[in-house]
Structure 1
Amino acid sequence: MAKKSGGGGCLVVVLVVGLLAFGYYKWQHGSSSAPPGGADTGGGTGRYVALGDSYTSAPRTGRQAGTPAGCERSDDNYPHLVSAKLKPAEFADVSCSGAATGDLTAAQKTSNGTNPPQLNAVTAKTTLVTLGIGGNDVGFMSLASSCATSQRAASPCKDRLTAGGHDQLAERIDATAPKLGAVLERIHSKAPDAKVVVVGYPAVLPDGDGCWPTLPFGAGDIAYFRDSLGKLNKMLEDTADAHRAGYADTATPGKGHDACAASGERWVEGVLPASPAAPLHPNARGEQGMADAVLAVLKLP
């Protein structure tokens, strides 16, 4: 009996270690997951609606698509690429640069026109929704200009945002989770038959200390923002899972294609883009990589 009990104990230990290792892997690397249930979309059937911010709208990567012009929505962003592959009966891309979760349910004023509440595009006929949102709630882009430094090892933003023992970005990420959850529930309510996919953010910053001065952020801030973006993606993944949505991990396939990569390999441009794109945003190559991640979640080649 003692031997039998010992074997069971070893099995428990192995299972626990395995689960911990899996959790560590997911934290470090992320993972995609398919959306549960829902109607099929494509081949001339269904309605696909794309919601999101500038990482979805893809400013300056292609020709302007739709209105208002201030949303800077390009015709080669990942929603358009996914739609071209799926060929749904109806397609609506209402993503908009600068959007936060609040702009999904309220009109968003841009520098050139007003975008209606994005969720207005989600109807009972909708069979697929992709959602890329959260970065502006946390304030990543608005912080970039204040973080530039002439000192390679400096970390002005980390020092300021973690002063007093409070990590402001971590707190903002936590505060965004219930907002995202409420949006996902609203989508399910408006479109009960829709598959919903939350789309994560690609790898913007490299491992290591970065590429100062090409990317003019000190090593401490590079590490801080890289870790914060990882926390944001983890929150997006967890919230999607908790609210019956799939998750498209774009950070893992984007690893090595960050803003410090060679211009021919880069998915995300630097402060001075070498390819058509907004600074610190995906270029056309990055939008294709994001589209591939969404298609993989939908089990399409």
Structure 2
Amino acid sequence: MRLSRFASLTSALLLAAGAALFGAGTAAAAPQADFGYVALGDSYSSGVGAGSYDGASGDCKRTPRAYPALWAAAHSPQTFSFTACSGARTGDVLANQLGPLNSGTDLVSITVGGNDAGFSDVMTTCVLQSESSCVSRVNQAKAYVDTTLPGKLDQVYNAIRAKAPSARVVVIGYPRFYKLGGSCIAGLSEGERTAINGAADHLNAAVAKRAADHGFAFASVVGAFTGHEICSGSAWLHSLNWTNIGESYHPTAAGHSGGYLPVFTNAA
């Protein structure tokens, strides 16, 4: 009887030890929790200029050549929601893009602010009007960035954090458009190109400040695009494109894969 009880006890202990050992092994081999990535923003995130647009995205012109889709293809998150849209302003992000965000979202990327500041109108003015008109319009945009844009960015950033409290949020900036003293022999004057580059720096500084104040990462692409601006001879940005005017001053496919993608990857 005693031997039987001892054998039973020994067997039970061995089973318990085995269960603990192999149970730990099973837990280690269990699949990772879902990793969710949501890509928000304007045409610089949707991929205008990179081509091969997804017809289902309509006027938003999302493309698998854009940096969010390239990152998702390389890293295989369990969920990937791509809501960035061409022409989006801060209000459009708030109204139309935040649906996929939730408490399980791990990573968010966003480019926004350029359309609020009047990017398209600035470039139209500079292309079609005088240098003085160009500089004046640039200064109007910079004043907007100083006085109005920060509050609009705050609304977007607050909404992202409220919906995705645990996510890493990477706010990405805009490139300088022109290589000064570069290879261009026609088009805008050096004064206009200088003013436009200065406006990009001004916008980036404002966006970076608001991102930092919300605890978000800011990723600058200026360095990545240095040597690849318009007039560089190796541009990753479309110049004025009369055939497809909407792609003007947007990154090419190479600009997304060689510029935006590595910058975002390093920040994510």
The TM-score bracket by the shorter chain reads 0.7 to 0.9
Aligned partner (choices 145, 148, 168) of residue 173 of structure 1 = 145
2:49–2:251 Cα contact (<8 Å) kept: no
Tell me the SS of whatever aligns to 2:121.
helix
Q: CA–CA distance in 2 between the matches of 1:200 and 1:274?
A: 27
Alignment RMSD, CA only? 2.5
Whether 2:122 is the aligned partner of 1:143: answer yes
Aligned partner (choices 211, 214, 237) of residue 243 of structure 1 = 214
2:180–2:231 Cα contact (<8 Å) kept: no
Tell me the SS of whatever aligns to 1:122.
coil
User: Whose helix proportion is higher, 1 or 2?
Assistant: 2
Tell me the SS of whatever aligns to 2:171.
strand
Q: CA–CA distance in 2 between the matches of 1:256 and 1:273?
A: 24
Alpha-carbon deviations, 1:4-27, whole Å to 9, x = none? xxxxxxxxxxxxxxxxxxxxxxxx
Instruction: Give 1:55 shift.
Output: 1.0
Q: CA–CA distance in 2 between the matches of 1:267 and 1:60?
A: 10
Q: CA–CA distance in 1 between the matches of 2:183 and 2:132?
A: 12
Instruction: Give 1:59 shift.
Output: 2.1
Q: CA–CA distance in 2 between the matches of 1:211 and 1:137?
A: 29
Instruction: Name the larger-Rg structure.
Output: 2
Q: 1:290 to 1:60 in 2, by over 3 A?
A: closer
Tell me the SS of whatever aligns to 1:91.
strand
- Tell me which residue corresponds to 2:137: 161
> Where do 1:157-236 residues align within 5 Å?
157-158=134-135, 160-161=136-137, 167-174=139-146, 175-208=148-181, 211-213=184-186, 216-236=187-207
> Where do 1:1-301 residues align within 5 Å?
45-65=34-54, 67-106=56-95, 117-148=96-127, 154-158=131-135, 160-161=136-137, 167-174=139-146, 175-208=148-181, 211-213=184-186, 216-262=187-233, 265-272=234-241, 278-288=247-257, 289-298=259-268
In structure 1, give the amino acid aligned to 2:137: L
Residue-pair matches, total: 235
In structure 1, give the amino acid aligned to 2:239: G
Q: 1:242 to 1:86 in 2, by over 3 A?
A: same
Tell me the SS of whatever aligns to 1:135.
coil
1:208–1:223 Cα contact (<8 Å) kept: no
1:268–1:283 Cα contact (<8 Å) kept: yes
Q: CA–CA distance in 2 between the matches of 1:290 and 1:237?
A: 16
1:60–1:74 Cα contact (<8 Å) kept: no
Unmatched 5+ residue regions in structure 1?
1-42, 107-116
Tell me the SS of whatever aligns to 1:203.
coil
In structure 1, give the amino acid aligned to 2:165: P
Q: CA–CA distance in 1 between the matches of 2:162 and 2:256?
A: 29
Q: CA–CA distance in 1 between the matches of 2:182 and 2:132?
A: 11
1:46–1:88 Cα contact (<8 Å) kept: yes
In structure 1, give the amino acid aligned to 2:81: A
Q: 1:46 to 1:222 in 2, by over 3 A?
A: same
Unmatched 5+ residue regions in structure 2?
1-31
Tell me the SS of whatever aligns to 1:121.
coil
In structure 1, give the amino acid aligned to 2:251: P
Identity %: 32
TM, length-normalised to structure 2: 0.80
Q: CA–CA distance in 2 between the matches of 1:68 and 1:272?
A: 22
